[in-house]
Amino acid sequence: MIRSWSPVVARERVAEETFWLEFDAPEIAEQAAPGQFVMVGFGASSWGTPFLPRPNSVAAAPDGRVGLLIRVYGAGSRRISELALGERVLLLGPLGTRFELGDARNVLCIAGGVGLAPFLLLPRWLDRQGREANLRLLYGERVGAVVFNPEKIQEIAGIEADIWTEDGSRGSRGTVLDGTGLDGADLVLSCGPTAMLKAVRSLARTAGVPCQLAVEEHMACGMGTCIGCAIPTIDPETGEDVYSLVCTEGPVFAAERLRW
């Protein structure tokens, strides 16, 4: 786990309220795997908004840089999105678990909104591991205005995204789930809003395909000390109802462990 004050080295508004940021943070970039995240903060001496750091998935790791895909949600993500080139933030990471591909050959990735982030890292990360798999990426947004450019996705991730919008203004009309014939997938990975994750889980369960979900919960420490990011889960060994920490036991969970 690395803590570093890292400068913004690239910043681009990529869609409505959506920004692409790159930080110079070689050690984190080297270690980060898809699904893992960094805490992005401003240190303890500035108690402005935000005081607590904010979790964000590592979306790319080119040339010693950590790329993040940030959607403005509240005051914290707004401040992060407004960082100027050269400004430094405190990065802590990489944190959490990653998607585990095992022997899967045909991997279906289902992303909702900025849940796209981990899947931007996935293809090149697999390359770096010398690991081959057929990846298919479904990417859904509510409206076209917030869609991350498919060319940019291609450039960052080297993968083509199958885009779905509910208003039909970009890509196909509908939700990612409308595009989900699991056709041939032997593993489903998903990240996005909880409602979507639940639907993905049902689909995969029905089809009998293993499924891993990256979930979100409020965080303070990102490293297991505050016990704040617990979500209801099922203990895989005892079958008991327990809580698991999203920051250390997650954010990627086997779908069947989640107690929703």
Ligand X SMILES: Cc1cc2nc3c(=O)[nH]c(=O)nc-3n(C[C@H](O)[C@H](O)[C@H](O)COP(=O)(O)OP(=O)(O)OC[C@H]3O[C@@H](n4cnc5c(N)ncnc54)[C@H](O)[C@@H]3O)c2cc1C
114 binds, among ligand FMN, other proteins, ligand X, none (CB under 5 to 8 A by kind): ligand X
- CB-wise, 49 or 154, nearer to its own copies? 49
Mind giving me the DSSP string for 108-127? EEEEEGGGGHHHHHHHHHHH
Please report how close the Cβ of residue 91 comes to ligand FMN at its closest, in angstroms. 22
In the list 100, 186, 228, 254, the residue contacting ligand FMN (rule: CB under 6 A) is: 228
3 binds, among ligand FES, other proteins, ligand X, none (CB under 5 to 8 A by kind): other proteins
Give the residue nearest to ligand FES (CB).
Answer: 247
In the list 1, 12, 43, 46, the residue contacting its own copies (rule: CB under 8 A) is: 46
10 binds, among its own copies, other proteins, ligand FMN, none (CB under 5 to 8 A by kind): none
- CB-wise, 41 or 171, nearer to other proteins? 41
In the list 5, 10, 30, 49, the residue contacting its own copies (rule: CB under 8 A) is: 49
Residues across the chain: 260
d(CA 250, CA 252): 4
In the list 226, 230, 234, 254, the residue contacting ligand FMN (rule: CB under 6 A) is: 226
Residue 216's φ and ψ, nearest 5 degrees, are -120, 145
Give the residue nearest to ligand FMN (CB).
Answer: 226
Residue partners of 140: CB distance under 8 A and separation at least 6: 110, 111, 112, 113, 163, 164, 165, 166, 175, 176, 177, 192, 196
By CB under 6 A, tell whether 64 contacts ligand FMN. no
Per CB under 8 A, residues contacting other proteins are 1, 3, 41-45, 47-53, 76, 90, 92, 217-221, 223-232, 242-243
Please report how close the Cβ of residue 216 comes to ligand FES at its closest, in angstroms. 11
Please report how close the Cβ of residue 202 comes to ligand FMN at its closest, in angstroms. 34
Cis omega (within 30 of 0) on the bond before 26? no
Hey, what amino acid is at 223?
M
Q: How many CB atoms lie within 10 A of CB 155?
A: 10
d(CA 80, CA 62): 20
- CB-wise, 182 or 246, nearer to ligand X? 246
- The binding site for ligand FMN (CB under 6 A) comprises 226, 228
- The binding site for its own copies (CB under 8 A) comprises 46-49, 84
